Chains A and B, each alone.
Chain A
Amino acid sequence: MACASALQAQTADELVSKNIAARGGMDRLLAVKSLRSSGILQQGSFSMRIGTDAAPPNLLRSTYTIQGMTAVSAYDGAVGWKISPFEGRRDPELLGEDDLRGMIEDADFYGPLVNAKEKGNKIEYLGHDTVDGDDALRLRVTLKNGDILTYYLDPDTYLEIRIEKTQYIRGSVRETFTDLGSYKRVAGVYYPFSMETGSRSNPSDRAKITISNMEANVSFPRSTFRMPEARQTPSASQSSARPNAERKL
């Protein structure tokens, strides 16, 4: 029963432990050494295929594909980069510092709740709250860089049902939220297969992500995450326009 547990789980540490246990336990969690997922991102009537490769401690590569063209954003633990081919350029570019900040946070493979102290993350239990009127338990995670993640845990399962992110970019604030659900077990660990993210004030202005496949412990080379060499791109060179243009790089 959630409430009996919730009453006992009055500290942040206990709640974090319950969350990790609910996901499958620390041993199983740490036994996952890589993840590869793919699915669909839908925003309004627009949709694209997405893919993610990730590995500990903080390697991440995300892809977004339409019309045989694939955009990439990635972080190799030191350098964040992207390829944005949709307007005619396929050269890799460094991520701007503002964008890199979110990428670095997303790249934390096991998430900020795992080994939080070692990462310099501060976690506080903010008590009972609601998500659209429904009960939730709230954790505030202040990252080492000062950004804040607010976790709303389902009081029955202790899994995350909403994460709000507040980023402080040169003193200004960026806020996003993500609702999570449809947890499925991969290598003994529960991962959300359904996410909805975007504006709180506009229900129609949200991206819905549905993961169709997720594999753990996939072998991929570290170069997956590394920024490729830039092509010598003249102002208007002729494209070979292969179906997966990214391979050309």
Chain B
Amino acid sequence: MKQALIGFCLAALASAAAPARFDSGAISGLPARNIGSAAMSGRISALDAIDSNGQLTLFVGSASGGVWKSVNGGTTFKPVFDNTNVQSVGAVAVDPTNPSTVWTGTGESWVRNSVSIGAGVFKSTDGGENWVNMGLKDSEHIARILIDPKDGDTVYVCATGHLWDDNDERGVFKSSDAGKSWRKVLAGANGSTGCGMIAMSAQNPKTLYASLWDFRRQAWTFRSGGPGSGLFQSTDGGEHWTELTDANSKGLPEKPYGRIALTVAPSRPNVVYAMIESKSSALFRSDDNGRNWARLDASQMMVWRPFYFANLIVDPKDENKVFKVDGSLLLSVNGGKSFSSVANAHGDFHDVWIDPSNPNLMFTGDDGGLWRSGDGGTRWEHLLNLPVSQFYHVSVDNADPYRVYGGLQDNSSWVGDSSYPGGVTNSRWENMYGGDGFWMWEDPADSNYIYVEAQGGELSRVHRVTHESRSIKPYARYGEKKLRFNWNTPVQISPNEKGTIYIGAQFLFRSRDHGQSWERISPDLTTNDPDKQKQEESGGVTVDNSAAEMNTTIYSIAESPRNRQLIWVGTDDGNIQITRDSGAHWTNVAPNVPGVGKAPWVSWVEASRYAEGAAYVAFDRHMYGDMKPYVYRTADFGKTWTALPVQQAGVRGYAHVIREDPLNPSLLFLGTEFGLWVSVDGGGRWAQYKGSGFPDVAVRDIVIHPRTSDLVIATHGRGIWVLDDISPLRSLTPALMEEEAAFLPVPDAVQVMETSGGWSEGDATFNGPARPAEAGVPYYQKTRHIFGDLKIEVFDAQGNLVDTIASSKHRGVNRAAWTMHLKPPKVPPAATAAFGAAVGPRILPGAYTLKMTKNDKTYTAKLNVVLDPRAAFTVADRKAQFDLVTRLAGLLNHMSWAVDAMIGVRDDAADRTAKLAAGDPFRAKLADLAAAADALRTQVVATKEGGAITGEERLREFLAGLYGDVSAYEGKPTASQLERADALGRELDDVIRKFTELTGARLSAVNQELQAKKLAAIRPVVEDEWRKSHADELPSYQPRPGIPLY
């Protein structure tokens, strides 16, 4: 911590010397919205929980979206790992000796091709709220953490280790001092062997079982198994380990082994289960602490994909009830002899937690999120509050609000609303396809159709409404073995021609007729290295060739926005190909890129929209164990390349996407495995975006909406985020950042319809925020505003003060929100509040001036307010509505005066009465006056109190209701509304006239008598005086010439 603080301070000192700080603080004042979805959710890798007298605290480790905590058994969750620098979770474990201590092993150990990496072991001592890194930072993947149930300081970590290269920090590690130090107590035989699983029984924690796993993934192949794999036992708390072999145990299969799933029955520690991947993979059981093993179930699902499903869970009370996670969730109730598939859920299960005090209560996590069973695993409920969805790509359409399209790891391809009245709930997202999802586009030539794909280039065109799906992928020609489509096959839409679509195998294909036919517009653009094309041999001990290892493929495609004949292609084996004649000739310019290393994945090509020869390329070398980002720029069609100094600028994580802003060539967005980074100077300096708690999550794709300038971010682990209108970042020049404060260019304020939608779903489902309905007022300040006012005022075209806006105090870019509403009318008090009139009129579209006062300096800017473009009404209609609303507001103010005047007469009469002698006959006259005044008041306002539904409505309630009705729709009022306004105005006048008549008829005589008795006269308050005395509650702004102040 001290080291971190010193680092922070040195950085701050350095930046203080610099003219201005360009860092996270400078750019993160713009908020972002997470719109999910949690409908499909994402892969859950690990679970643990603690049941404290029926109150269940649950920790959910997600594959790439952090740790989520629920303190109510799964009704609500919150992300608790976002203050760390990593989101991939392999293990979570609550200390059985102290439930406030929670451990997380980062780096998922279900090491599929798209798996992320971790940063070691983290510990929380406050129930998961705050975390400290406890070391093993180079382990990258951790399968399990065990805590000695009798000694919380003794902790075991099953460190699986690097997936893509050798490393030393792998094996079984033990700490005897609560994580302060670690000893490797079980090491693999080679650099590719780590811990596959570890298990012990709480009843006998000195006896541990661990599997070592020899494995390696490369971009083109995977190997599970090797000489390092084996099954081990320790009987002295992990200090010494013995491999279980034919020499010391009986019944184990012949080696070599692959991955081994392991568990010990909690209720009988001599019962051990192991699913051993071997040439004869099966479940094995020992009833005597590992000395003898019986070969049990070897069904297809039991032995399917052992690298991905190496986990066994035994019921806490019944040693014969065993769950095996796999493609299905398997359950045996006969001690492992046979299994049934029990879960009607997404599939691809990874962990199960069973409540020890109520084994019927269970949770399981699979590739589709978290599931709960209350009947011991027969029926399952999907928990819909975990937005850990793993998007690969995102696109948008031009609807208003625009829709968001994207494909997800093992969760198909979905379209969702970027905004919806009441929020973007799960139901605002719709599944359009199947399989693993990747690129997804609305067909620009026919918006009824959507292009979607599943893994390995399974491209289809789907009807948006009927879901009719037509496969349109190109096929191999006669004699060709196959087309090589990447797991994440690139599909691109031409930025120049509606209806032109590209897909890349080893060749680039183009269709101009919605996939009816394809032109092959390139030769093989890859290295075509035969050594990288042996996927049928992939898998190691168990063959595993799922398209995830397909290599020597095209991985990125970009048609230049400036020239449709200029196309860039990047491959997963290091080539960058360019054609300038629509595919007739291709040149590999990758050899011109210095310093990127051999055969990286060209993860992104961004053809510049500002210069034909310019492009950005992101390289990904994590499959060689190099987790650093690489980003380059060319300005000469790839002849020369300049490395952007992303590593020097502190960017973390391998690079997935680099995007150029459509309006400012200096504004770049970079998505890496560890977050979102922004440059405002063409790539020289970079700052990580951390607004709204945006975590260090993998950013796989970014799109900037051309109409709204929203930055739509596809995260692989935390769903879609929308950073509404990034246009303020376009102005963040070094010169501007030197200013103490400044308005940034203020975009038109669209008066988005203030509508409502959705329905209460309680707390257990996700609901992402809708887009803001306020006018955004962006500004910059060099330092955080701590002292005194930071005032932003709005003036109309005539210079009248319209409103004052609450400001934000953040350092750097800020956005204040103006509601665009005037003060509400003053409504006379009555039995209940009239909420229909609790909000002031919405101002009219037009030109306004902003004035910011910070300390003793002022700044001004223009603000243009416009109608919602979806509105069917005109500005003239809007003015008619505004005029009626303000007229009704004026009537309510007028009514408030009248009621106060009546109350004044009534109360004054009562006051004078109280000052008279008991038998004074004048008392009756005053009482009668008071009663008459109050009787008129009861014609104006409802007066029945008590909190029941009285149904009592008087002029106030009618008028406030009418005000609310007219306010709720901003177009032309109905004729009935206009007539009703006239009628209510007249009825109010009638009562006021009666009041005037009353006071005119009686007050003269009453006051003469009061004067005679030396008591103060009763004088109804005059409206002008009343307005002056209530000036702070009434509008001082005259919204329209000719329309009176309301």
Contacts and interface: CB of A to CB of B under 8 A. Distances in A.
Interface string A236-249: 11111111110000
B64 interface: no
A203 B806 contact: no
B692 A132 contact: yes
B93 interface: no
B24 A243 contact: no
Contacts of B25: 130, 132-135
A127 B5 contact: yes
Interface stretch (B587-595, B829-837, B978-986): B829-837
Interface size class of A (residues with CB under 8 A): 35 or more
Contact of A88 (B71, B691, B948): B948
B398 interface: no
A123 to B, nearest CB: 14
B945 A236 contact: yes
Contacts of A159: 786
Nearest to B13: A3
B6 interface: yes
Interface stretch (A13-21, A29-37, A112-120, A173-181): A173-181
B946 A234 contact: yes
Contacts of B835: 86
B24 A210 contact: no
B807 interface: yes
Contact of A10 (B2, B72, B754, B934): B2
Interface size class of B (residues with CB under 8 A): 35 or more
Contact of B12 (A133, A135, A172, A239): A135
B689 interface: yes
B827 A88 contact: no
B806 A196 contact: yes
B8 interface: yes
B819 A42 contact: yes
Chain A interface helix/strand/loop/mixed: mixed
Interface in A79-121: 85-90
Interface in B910-951: 934, 937-938, 941, 943-948, 950
Interface string A192-217: 01101000111111001010000000
Given A87-B947, A88-B947, A194 B821 contact: no
A67 B774 CA distance: 24
Given A88-B832, A203-B769, A132 B786 contact: no
B784 A154 contact: yes
A235 interface: yes
Contacts of A144: none
A67 B899 CA distance: 12
Contacts of B416: none
A166 B129 CA distance: 10
A67 B956 CA distance: 11
Interface string B37-53: 00000000000000010
Given A200-B693, A201-B692, A202-B769, A69 B829 contact: yes
A230 interface: no
B78 interface: yes
Interface core residue of B33, B773, B808 (most chain A CB under 10 Å) = B808
B688 interface: yes
A32 to B, nearest CB: 18
Given A203-B772, A236-B948, A86 B832 contact: yes
Interface core residue of B8, B819, B828 (most chain A CB under 10 Å) = B8
Given A7-B9, A66-B838, A130-B24, A205 B769 contact: yes
B829 A67 contact: yes
A221 interface: no
Interface in B689-706: 689-693
A63 interface: no
Given A128-B5, A128-B8, A241-B943, A134 B78 contact: no
A130 B690 contact: yes
A129 interface: yes
A237 B942 CA distance: 11
A201 B769 contact: yes
Given A67-B829, A157-B786, A132 B29 contact: yes
B785 A239 contact: no
A218 interface: no
Interface stretch (B302-310, B330-338, B365-373, B809-817): B809-817
A18 B924 CA distance: 68
A133 B827 CA distance: 44
A132 B4 contact: no
Given A87-B832, A237-B946, A135 B8 contact: yes
A97 B1021 CA distance: 45
Interface stretch (B425-433, B524-532, B787-795): B787-795
Given A132-B692, A133-B690, A233 B827 contact: no
Interface core residue of A7, A88, A196, A242 (most chain B CB under 10 Å) = A88
Contacts of B820: 45
Contacts of B842: 45
B945 A239 contact: yes
Contacts of A203: 31, 33, 692, 769, 772
B80 to A, nearest CB: 11
A139 interface: no
A88 B689 CA distance: 48
Given A45-B840, A68-B828, A179-B809, A171 B772 contact: no
Nearest to B130: A126
Contacts of B9: 2-4, 6-7
A201 B824 CA distance: 28
Contacts of B947: 87-89
B72 to A, nearest CB: 6
A52 interface: no
Contacts of A141: none
B238 to A, nearest CB: 32
Interface in A28-78: 42, 44-47, 66-69
B458 interface: no
A46 to B, nearest CB: 6
Contacts of B817: 204
B754 A45 contact: yes
B1 interface: yes
A172 B71 contact: yes
Contacts of A243: 829, 900, 903
A130 B34 CA distance: 20
A183 B821 contact: no
B23 interface: yes
B790 A182 contact: yes
A246 to B, nearest CB: 10
A239 B690 contact: no
B838 A132 contact: no
Given A45-B839, A89-B946, A200-B693, A134 B769 contact: no
A230 to B, nearest CB: 13
Contact of A194 (B5, B129, B773, B806): B806
B488 interface: no
21 contacts: A2-B9, A10-B5, A46-B839, A66-B824, A66-B838, A68-B896, A130-B690, A161-B809, A171-B55, A172-B71, A173-B71, A182-B785, A200-B692, A201-B769, A204-B774, A208-B806, A233-B946, A239-B943, A242-B829, A242-B903, A245-B829
Given A7-B5, A133-B29, A245-B829, 7 more contacts: A46-B839, A66-B824, A69-B833, A87-B833, A133-B691, A203-B769, A241-B943
Interface of B: 1-2, 4-6, 8-10, 12-13, 16, 23-29, 31, 33-34, 52, 55, 71-72, 78, 83, 126, 129-130, 423, 687-693, 754, 769-770, 772-774, 783-790, 806-812, 817, 819-821, 824, 826-835, 837-840, 842, 896, 899-900, 903, 907, 934, 937-938, 941, 943-948, 950
The 4 lowest CB-CB distance pairs between A and B, nearest first, are A133-B24, A133-B28, A3-B9, A134-B25
Interface of A: 1-4, 6-7, 10, 42, 44-47, 66-69, 85-90, 126-130, 132-135, 140, 148, 154-157, 159, 161, 166, 171-173, 175, 179, 181-184, 190, 193-194, 196, 200-205, 208, 210, 233-245
